[in-house]
Structure 1
Amino acid sequence: MSVVLASFHLNRFPRATAPEAVSRMGLDRPELVRTPGLRFWKLLGTGRGETMTLGADLRRWALFAVWEQESALDAFLAGSEIPARWASLDAERYSVRLEPLRSHGAWGGTNPLAGPTEQHSGRGARARPGAHGRSGEQPGDAVSADGLGGDEEDRTGAVERVAGPGPVAVLTRASIRVRRLRAFYGAIEPPARALADASGRLASVGVGEWPLARQATFSLWRSADEMQAYAYGDPAHREVLRRTRAEDWYAEELFVRFRPFGAEGTWDGRDPLG
């Protein structure tokens, strides 16, 4: 298994520079394609608030990236015009480095955190509706409407590493079937309210590639135990997990757990890991 590094970058722009920031969502793509050592990336819009919502926040944008090595990320932050432009547009910036600990599922047909062999063997797989977790599965692994999960059978390009004590970050992403959009968004509010009040949640944001149908959540937690306590302790969340499988909401999904480190900047005026 090749060891890769991920990073998450969240930028909030003032009203005066927000229109230019919106335009960069398209204009920055060619430069990202040419960035050395960048093996996977997604420029992402964000929802209002802390979880997936129907409303978009046009002043807040995110980048999720996967790097071949940490030096490639260092070079990007030091020399690329993209982070320099974030600064020139007076954005509130927050960046965090992410060591993958547990990853399975797919994003665009592959697991971006897996090595080449894992990518090939798992290409195109997805979870079957109604599946139960295999022996050895851990809580917090299937994507629910608020972006956390439960047991999951799919092992597409799985990454497994031992997690130590301390904070964890979770990225969950789903491609929602069009015929299930109404059910999905009708189920969001109760678990989203519970997530906002969850013990141990340090920060969270709903992000997406496309409006409505391709959604993700990135969250930071004080510990894996507290994240799992929310995933399994909230009745509304458990019901969403059940419906996700029983009603076959997703065409594709990805769950990743990380060890966050090397955070820089502020998120809503503070460093949630500070």
Structure 2
Amino acid sequence: MSQTVSLSLFRFDRTRDRLWAFAMMGFARALLPRTPDIGFWKLCGSGTGEGFTPVPNFGVYAILATWPDHDTARERIASAPIFQRYRNRAAEDWTVFLSPTSVKGEWAGVEPFVTNDTPQAGPLAALTRATVKPSIAAQFWKRVPDISSVIGQDENVAFKIGIGEMPLLHQVTFSIWPDARRMANFARTGHHADAIRAVRENDWFREELYARFAVKSDYGTWNGASPLASLDMP
């Protein structure tokens, strides 16, 4: 068996459902650990637009979780009561299933992902998670709109979103690419490369995690379609 990571996104349109989802940022912390086979998990909100802003978007929330294998992950996402409750309230939901291929760093002091040593080809996802030092939060967020604009214009990115556990101080970026080469081309150039240099030179983060995943499958839709539809899936 190899670890599978799921990222589930839920969009809530009605005010009463948005209020419910906001409240669940607290209440779901007691419910998620009761889900059979779940390992590491995190509840996240999102930013406005595509998520890459410090201004909260009260209509989109995410649950990231780890599972012992792909079949178990799909079964639990489909049938576990907590995920069913989210889907019943959401106007739309989408889950992508991932296999970790490389990981560096920690998330809240934990190494959450177990890599699969088998070489993977085809579409891949990139996830970065950082705890921003409060003293430089303003400098960090000045960089983000430029990066968001560039990634939004890149025809190679199949999906992208910014989420986080706490506005301003915790930031998670997630993106899906057709292959490693095209992802690397984006990461090494332009505003993104400038931001990486600034992070290293100025020691902006208290904690960092960088992970890459093979994209295995998905469940549901986002903006009316599967974000994986344009990719050459194995």
TM-score normalised by L of structure 1: 0.78
Partner of 2:6: 7
Deviation at 1:62, TM superposition (A): 0.3
Deviation at 1:162, TM superposition (A): 5.1
Secondary structure in 1 aligned to 2:35? coil
CA distance in structure 2 between the partners assigned to 1:192 and 1:265 by the alignment: 25
Partner of 1:102: 102
Matched, 1:226 2:182: yes
Partner of 1:161: 117
Residue of 211, 215, 220 corresponding to 1:265: 220
Query: What pairs up with 1:185-204 in 2 under 5 angstroms?
Result: 185-204=141-160
Secondary structure in 1 aligned to 2:165? strand
Query: What pairs up with 1:17-36 in 2 under 5 angstroms?
Result: 17-36=17-36
- Contact map agreement 2:121 2:214 (CA 8 A) in 1: no
- Contact map agreement 1:163 1:259 (CA 8 A) in 2: no
Matched, 1:254 2:212: no
Secondary structure in 1 aligned to 2:40? strand
Matched, 1:242 2:204: no
Partner of 2:55: 55
Shift in CA distance, 190/78, structure 1 to aligned 2, threshold 3 Å:
closer
Aligned amino acid, residue 158 of structure 2: L
CA distance in structure 2 between the partners assigned to 1:75 and 1:167 by the alignment: 23
CA distance in structure 2 between the partners assigned to 1:192 and 1:77 by the alignment: 29
CA distance in structure 1 between the partners assigned to 2:84 and 2:36 by the alignment: 17
Query: What pairs up with 1:66-215 in 2 under 5 angstroms?
Result: 66-114=66-114, 159=115, 161=117, 163-215=119-171
Q: Give the structure with the larger helix fraction.
A: 2
CA distance in structure 2 between the partners assigned to 1:225 and 1:199 by the alignment: 14
CA distance in structure 2 between the partners assigned to 1:169 and 1:43 by the alignment: 19
Deviation at 1:166, TM superposition (A): 1.7
TM-score normalised by L of structure 2: 0.91
CA distance in structure 2 between the partners assigned to 1:178 and 1:86 by the alignment: 32
RMSD: 1.7
Aligned amino acid, residue 238 of structure 1: A
- Contact map agreement 2:3 2:116 (CA 8 A) in 1: no
Shift in CA distance, 45/90, structure 1 to aligned 2, threshold 3 Å:
closer
Runs of 4+ in 1 over 4 A off after TM superposition: none
- Contact map agreement 1:38 1:72 (CA 8 A) in 2: no
Secondary structure in 2 aligned to 1:238? helix
CA distance in structure 2 between the partners assigned to 1:240 and 1:160 by the alignment: 29
- Contact map agreement 2:132 2:205 (CA 8 A) in 1: yes
Aligned amino acid, residue 50 of structure 2: E
Deviation at 1:25, TM superposition (A): 1.9
The unaligned stretches of length 5 or more in structure 1 are 115-158
- Contact map agreement 1:200 1:223 (CA 8 A) in 2: no
Residue-by-residue CA offset, 1:185-233 (whole Å, 9 max, x unaligned): 1111222211111231011110010111011011111221111111112
